[in-house]
Structure 1
Amino acid sequence: MANKILIVVQARMSSSRLPGKVMLPVLGESLLFRMVERLKMIRHEVQLVIATSLAADDDMIAQESLRIGVPCFRGSLENLLDRHYKAALYFNADHVVKIPSDCPLIDPGIINDVLTHYFASPGQFDYVSNLHPATFPDGNDVEIMSMACLEKTWREAGRLLELEHTTPYIWENPKKFSIGNLVCRKGDDLSMSHRFTIDYEADYQFIKAVFEELYPVNSTFSCEDILNLLAEKPGIYHINAQYAGVNWYRNHLNELTTILPEQTKLTIH
Structure 2
Amino acid sequence: MVTASIQARMGSTRLPGKVLLSIRGRRTIDLVRQRCEAASSVDHIVFTIGDESPNEAIIKWCDRNGHRYVVGPEEDLLARHRLSLDQTGDGTLVRVTGDCPFVPPSEIDRLVDRHSGNGETYTSNATDRMPVGTAVDVLDRSVLRELAERGETHPAVPLRESPDEWGSVIDDSAAWAELGAAHTAVDTPADYWALVDAVRAVGLDPREVTEWVAENR
Normalised TM-score (structure 1): 0.74
Deviations 1:148-171 (A, max 9, x none): 01110111144xxxx2x4311222
- Equivalent residue letter for 1:90: Q
Is 1:127 aligned to 2:111, yes or no?
A: no
Is 1:155 aligned to 2:149, yes or no?
A: yes
Is 1:226 aligned to 2:215, yes or no?
A: no
Offset at residue 174 of structure 1 (A): 2.7
Structure scoring higher RCO (CA < 8 A, sep ≥ 6) equals 2
Q: Evaluate the alpha carbon distance shift between residue 134 and residue 53 of structure 1 in structure 2; reply closer, same or farther with a 3 A threshold.
A: same
Structure 1 Cα separation of the partners of residues 83 and 185 of structure 2 = 26
Report the structure, 1 or 2, having the larger helix content.
Answer: 2
1:199 aligned residue: 187
Q: Evaluate the alpha carbon distance shift between residue 36 and residue 187 of structure 1 in structure 2; reply closer, same or farther with a 3 A threshold.
A: closer
Structure 2 Cα separation of the partners of residues 105 and 34 of structure 1 = 7
Structure 1: any 5+ residue segments left out of the alignment?
A: 239-269
Structure 2: any 5+ residue segments left out of the alignment?
A: none
Deviations 1:113-159 (A, max 9, x none): 111111134xx11100001x34221100100010001110111144x
Deviations 1:209-229 (A, max 9, x none): 2222233xxx5x232x23443
Q: Is the CA contact 2:48–2:84 (under 8 Å) kept in the aligned structure 1?
A: yes
Is 1:6 aligned to 2:11, yes or no?
A: no
Rg comparison, structure with higher value: 1
Q: Is the CA contact 2:46–2:69 (under 8 Å) kept in the aligned structure 1?
A: yes
2:84 aligned residue: 87
2:156 aligned residue: 167
- Equivalent residue letter for 1:212: R
Q: Please point out which of 73, 77, 85 is paired with 2:74.
A: 77
- Equivalent residue letter for 1:78: E
1:209 aligned residue: 197
Is 1:117 aligned to 2:114, yes or no?
A: yes
Normalised TM-score (structure 2): 0.91
Could you say what secondary structure the match of 1:120 adopts?
helix
**What is the aligned length?**
217
- Equivalent residue letter for 1:156: R
Q: Is the CA contact 1:114–1:130 (under 8 Å) kept in the aligned structure 2?
A: yes
Structure 2 Cα separation of the partners of residues 75 and 88 of structure 1 = 13
Q: Evaluate the alpha carbon distance shift between residue 16 and residue 84 of structure 1 in structure 2; reply closer, same or farther with a 3 A threshold.
A: same
Is 1:96 aligned to 2:80, yes or no?
A: no
Offset at residue 188 of structure 1 (A): 4.1
Question: Quick one: percent identity of the two aligned structures?
Answer: 21
